[in-house]
Structure 1
Amino acid sequence: MASWRHRWWIGWIALLAMPGLLLAQPNTAPAVETGQAADFDQILQRVIGPASLEASSTEYDADLQRLRVALPAGDPARDARFRSVYCGSSTWRDPVEGLAYADGALALARDLNDSASQARALLCRAEYVMLTSGTQRGLADVDQAVDMLRNGHEPQLLAEALETRGDILSLLGEQAKAMLDFQRARAAYQQAGIAGEAESLVLSIAVAYRRMGDVEQARRYFTQALQRMQARADWEGVATNLIQLGFLQEEAGAPERAVRPFQQALDVAIAHRLPNTANSALLGLAEAQINLGQGETGLRTLERARAGFAARQDASSEDSLQLLTGQALARQGRHAEALAHYRQALPLIKRNGNDRYLALLYKAQATSLEAMGHPAAALSDYKTYTDLQLRLQGKMRLEQGRLLEYEYEIRRGEFENRRLRSEAASKQEQVQALERVRHWQWLTILLGALLLALLTSLAWRHGRTSRRLSRESLIDPLTGISNRAAIEAEAMRALEGATRPGAAVSLLILDLDNFKAINDRHGHAAGDQVLRGATDAWHTVLRGRDPLGRIGGEEFVVVCADTSLEQAMAVAERLREATTALRFDDIDPALRVTVSIGVAQSQHSDDTHEDVLARADAALYRAKQRGRDRVEH
């Protein structure tokens, strides 16, 4: 999207203006030229209307400069509108100066009671606040802008505000809430009469899926967007989606596959003079090189990125630069130098509230401290890293569950709206029919009977569909067993029912070993067959009272109510043996499948299912670390 906020993230143009231009003061001549006002309004519509969604950053900035020239003298109302959009110009290299300009634009819009300009100024201000004070701090301004726009008079601006808030929530790890804002933004864009999907919204949704660990959904979104961008020669969009595909490979643990999309993005950005995009591609490429053990190469790439950011006077990526530089130095055994960079990165990462990068930093710091002979400090940092990882994993599972609930509510709401529209249309047809034939009583009675039958049919169909959706929302479509929401509900019920003294609930987390290799070697259809075969085998050895559910990918949970840890370990061992006995001759006679299992028991009455699952997850991690195909508690 080519709105003001996306221009801000894309970067600064190489333009140094004299003070009069930089402050963008209106002309002081008293007359307001009618023709000039019309020109201003026409350009403003391009800047804030649907055309802005397709404009490149260069085109958008050029329109802002034209808007400045066309601003009529002595016209406070248009001056307020101008300032609210010019606030997002890449003219503002210094975020402190940009923040001061945003405050001035906001004050003028408030004085004139111009709610749309106030909202734009608030959204712009939020970007500068995030750069100067951290991501979390910008949320209040965006919330205020969303509330101000709920009257529905500016649907496109409301969509942009919701999308902005969703981006911030996603960056802070609140993926379910972010997705809800993205869905609302989509509806607002449709209300504004904008056909098709805004590409920036598609990108935001894809990034949220990536951060939530849904690799396949994210890859599908990024790949399809990349094809659309290539077809219309939108090189900024091409490079951006290539960078995201690189990050997707990095987070999937395949840095060797991340190098190519990062390098392609860099080539596109250089060829089409997109310096900020080039800097982002360099950062991603450096991370991949470092993770591949190429410390020296990674350092050279980081130096190129650092020089590029410095040339743009852009300090927004300083936390990543410091962290990656430390990791590259550590790869070369220069741990003392690495620790110095980690110390510089720590407050910047904490300020932005990104727990994922914070976990990476503590893990890297622990490695360097251990290498330098400081085991106590290394152990402390590694414990912090482990706690952060458990929290991140728990939060990811929670966000995935919440997203399922939100999606179900959205589908149910859409169905209800369609039903109400159908009923309203039917009633309107009835009224018209009654007016046409009001002199014939028998026809009135007949139409009433037909209407009653229609409403009864709709109610019956609605009830049947609601029941079916309710059932389907609790079943994993591939294996036919409980899904995440259903099995977590079973765990909560089991823990709530364990009220008598000595009663215990045990949870098992199962993870098929090296499952990705099965998909890569034999294809996803074979992987699906293995998942179904494993769940069928497990059902044959499970006690009838122990529900089994799939919580994602190749990961499953068993709830053992009124079961001690020792009893649960015996159940887990039966599951492990049943898995080892599986054969898939139609796929590959040599294929053998094993499973690692983590077991945990509730320890006290106020244990939540998240607590027990977190301990079982930690036990599963130990099983993986100790060679797989085993049970740990």
Structure 2
Amino acid sequence: MSRLSSRATPWLAIAAMAWCALVQPVHATTSITHPAQFLDQAEKLRTADHPQFVRMLEQIHQETPRLNASEQWQLRYLDAWETMYEGNYAKSEIAFRDVIDHSGNTILAAKASGLLLNNLALNRRYEEGFALANRLTSDLPSISDPNARFILLTNLSQMLDFAGQIDLAIQYARMAQDIVPRGESLCRPLSMQVAALYNGKRLTSSSPILQQAIDSCSAAREPVFTNVIWLTLGSLYLDENQPDKAMALLDRIAPAIIANHYYPHMLSSQVERAQAYAKLGNDQEARKAALTALAMSHPGDISEWLMTAYDVLYHIEKKNGHNANALSYYEHYVAQSTGNLNDITARTLAYEMAQQHTLVQKLETETLSKQNNILRLEQALDKKAVETSRLYIVLLLVALVSIIYWLFRLKRSQLRFKQLSSLDGLTGILNHQNFMSEADRALHALEKKQGSACLVYVDLDYFKQVNDTHGHAVGDAVLRRTVAICRHHLRPTDLFGRLGGEEFGILLHDCSSHQGMAIADRIRGAIEAASVDGDGSAVSFSASVGLASTNVCGYSLQKLCREADAALYRAKRSGRNRVIANTENGDLVEA
């Protein structure tokens, strides 16, 4: 079975809180007799001293009848921020939309829009999120307030990072770094750059920007951001097989994480601790930390942290010979892994559907950089406002001409994208998402006419060794040869797709369990007999196969996937290069 990285990614936590802390205007602390100033001071303390912020919210709520309309809207905004900080994204989304649509305050609406952008991503509503990102980009030229502009630039950096556009994410973060407004620090732009570099696998534990970001966030008294960067360093230590350093770091920052009581940090620190203990050979403490992480998770959560926790527990139980527990944890691991793969696929497709707008944003990047320079000149040279406005209009016209040009080009490429979006780029067969949707549709049709079908999982054995020994080019040739072999043995009505890595899925239409076993074994035998050329030498390979039949499992795709995966797991554990399927009495048998 193919594996995702066992690393829990602490930078997913920044997607849940970076926008919750983006604007902190500096005002002097006053008594409650001045509500507006009191609210400003509370906003400043959100991440610098979160417990004090919560106490100030409780205090100002007692004075709600005395607040004017503007102050009440600011209080609603801060309440929504706290709701999002606590992890209730659905409730906070409603509040942010209320602020955007009805507050009448453009600056407050810009702040709420940034938070809403992140909320949509966290709730996996990617198409809406990317559409909002494009709208915010188009609004950016009309926003002259330094704080609001700073918010949107950092928001765009985060969203592009989320879509895997690492270079653009870094560029927007550096643009925000160039226009840090009064009362802000370099903490957030540097944090955005660290996030993009980490997700782009361009960061090591010795990268200078890590220490620069830690120093900036510590000096700015931003404990939440500081903890994110520390957790990133801990994850890098684990990636670099330095569990002793990771454990020492986790022990050092534990009091700060407990003090802030921020759920993503509490969860990720427990998972990192479980990984470190496991690498150090302390199975008891590793199990304890992993179970603690699972206990604090929310029902239905899908994340790399939970996937990693289940992976740690699976390997511990397997190591100690507790096969039943190991299988249970493995099933949870597969569910998390599948959920993550589906999420990544959905996110990628949503981004590609908004590609024409994203390309426009690329064209506007240079224009926005010039606009940042204009804003700095406006702040320093108010007497030259008229001249600056004229230059601003010229730049917008240039951007508009460029947008029109690229829109014509993108229109011609949309049809081809729609055709290719359902296929795997390397092998040309269905990708994971489209295979699952087509299989579900086929099973519903078979159920109506009481037909039968078999779901087959094919996983190449020791595929990582092929890549490590002969290189990824030979590995790609093995994958393409496997696809050609499978296609040769399949009928036109059968579905065939790549589930991820070296794993493939086949749905055999109108096929009994016995027939499915025969077809699966022919495929396995043909793969075993095949080879590819690897620098002058023949590279052989084999596959393990798991099969589940509708005659036994019914027509539920979820159950068929679970049973086929369990059969594949048994084939792997029984020595590989074999076919195992469930029988009518629920047992697993080998072909």
Question: Aligned to 2:44, which of 81, 89, 95?
Answer: 89
Distance 1:464 1:285, change over 3 A: closer
Instruction: Quote the offset at 1:566 in angstroms.
Output: 2.8
- 2:537 is paired with a residue whose SS is coil
Question: Aligned to 1:112, which of 68, 85, 100?
Answer: 68
- 1:481 is paired with a residue whose SS is coil
Kept after mapping to 2: 8 A contact 1:550/1:556: yes
Question: Aligned to 1:305, which of 232, 253, 258?
Answer: 253
Instruction: Quote the offset at 1:562 in angstroms.
Output: 1.1
Q: 1:31 — aligned with what?
A: none
Counterpart amino acid of 2:68? Answer: L
Q: 2:78 — aligned with what?
A: 124
Report the Cα distance in structure 1 between the residues aligned to 2:485 and 2:300, rounded to whole angstroms. 47
**Runs of 5+ consecutive residues of structure 2 not aligned to the other structure:** 1-12, 144-148, 181-185, 359-409, 582-591
Question: Aligned to 2:488, which of 540, 550, 553?
Answer: 540
Kept after mapping to 2: 8 A contact 1:84/1:121: yes
1:510 correspondence with 2:458: yes
Counterpart amino acid of 2:446? Answer: A
Report the Cα distance in structure 2 between the residues aligned to 1:605 and 1:6, rounded to whole angstroms. 41
Instruction: Quote the offset at 1:300 in angstroms.
Output: 1.8
Q: 2:154 — aligned with what?
A: 200
User: CA deviation digits over 1:289-344, x for unaligned, max 9?
Assistant: 4576655433322223235657xx43323344444445544555555555665665
Kept after mapping to 2: 8 A contact 1:129/1:138: yes
Distance 1:367 1:589, change over 3 A: closer
Report the Cα distance in structure 1 between the residues aligned to 2:316 and 2:523, rounded to whole angstroms. 40
1:144 correspondence with 2:74: no
Counterpart amino acid of 1:393? Answer: S
Counterpart amino acid of 2:261? Answer: A
Q: What does residue range 23-172 of structure 1 map to in structure 2 within 5 Å?
A: 61=24, 64-65=25-26, 67-68=27-28, 80=36, 86-90=41-45, 93-102=48-57, 112-114=68-70, 121-129=75-83, 131=85, 134-135=86-87, 137-150=88-101, 160-161=111-112, 163-165=114-116, 167-168=118-119
Instruction: Quote the offset at 1:515 in angstroms.
Output: 5.2
Kept after mapping to 1: 8 A contact 2:460/2:541: yes
- 2:498 is paired with a residue whose SS is strand
Instruction: Quote the offset at 1:139 in angstroms.
Output: 3.2
Report the Cα distance in structure 2 between the residues aligned to 1:468 and 1:362, rounded to whole angstroms. 40
User: CA deviation digits over 1:243-295, x for unaligned, max 9?
Assistant: 5654676xxxxxxx97x247645433355464745543433343454576655
User: CA deviation digits over 1:84-125, x for unaligned, max 9?
Assistant: 6544313665534423434666875995344xx666544433
Distance 1:143 1:512, change over 3 A: farther
Kept after mapping to 2: 8 A contact 1:263/1:285: no
Counterpart amino acid of 2:212? Answer: V
Distance 1:271 1:188, change over 3 A: closer
Counterpart amino acid of 2:548? Answer: A
Report the Cα distance in structure 2 between the residues aligned to 1:359 and 1:587, rounded to whole angstroms. 37
Instruction: Quote the offset at 1:187 in angstroms.
Output: 1.5
Q: TM-score, normalised by structure 2?
A: 0.65
Distance 1:475 1:412, change over 3 A: farther
Q: Which has the higher contact order (CA 8 A, sep 6+)?
A: 2
Report % sequence identity: 22
Counterpart amino acid of 2:54? Answer: L
Report the Cα distance in structure 2 between the residues aligned to 1:266 and 1:464, rounded to whole angstroms. 43
- 1:88 is paired with a residue whose SS is helix
RMSD: 5.2
- 1:509 is paired with a residue whose SS is strand
Kept after mapping to 2: 8 A contact 1:263/1:281: no
Instruction: Quote the offset at 1:219 in angstroms.
Output: 5.9
Q: 2:587 — aligned with what?
A: none
Report the Cα distance in structure 1 between the residues aligned to 2:209 and 2:345, rounded to whole angstroms. 34
- 2:430 is paired with a residue whose SS is coil
Kept after mapping to 1: 8 A contact 2:114/2:155: yes
Question: Aligned to 2:330, which of 370, 386, 392?
Answer: 386
Kept after mapping to 2: 8 A contact 1:155/1:191: no
Report the Cα distance in structure 2 between the residues aligned to 1:599 and 1:121, rounded to whole angstroms. 57
Instruction: Quote the offset at 1:563 in angstroms.
Output: 1.1
- 1:201 is paired with a residue whose SS is helix
Question: Aligned to 1:348, which of 286, 296, 314?
Answer: 296
Kept after mapping to 1: 8 A contact 2:274/2:285: yes
Kept after mapping to 2: 8 A contact 1:299/1:325: yes
Instruction: Quote the offset at 1:561 in angstroms.
Output: 0.8
Instruction: Quote the offset at 1:560 in angstroms.
Output: 0.7
Kept after mapping to 2: 8 A contact 1:159/1:184: no
Between Structure 1 and Structure 2, how many residues are aligned?
A: 502
Mean alpha-carbon deviation: is it higher for 579-588 or for 183-192?
579-588
Distance 1:261 1:544, change over 3 A: same
Structure 1 or 2, whichever has the larger Rg, is 1
Instruction: Quote the offset at 1:140 in angstroms.
Output: 0.5
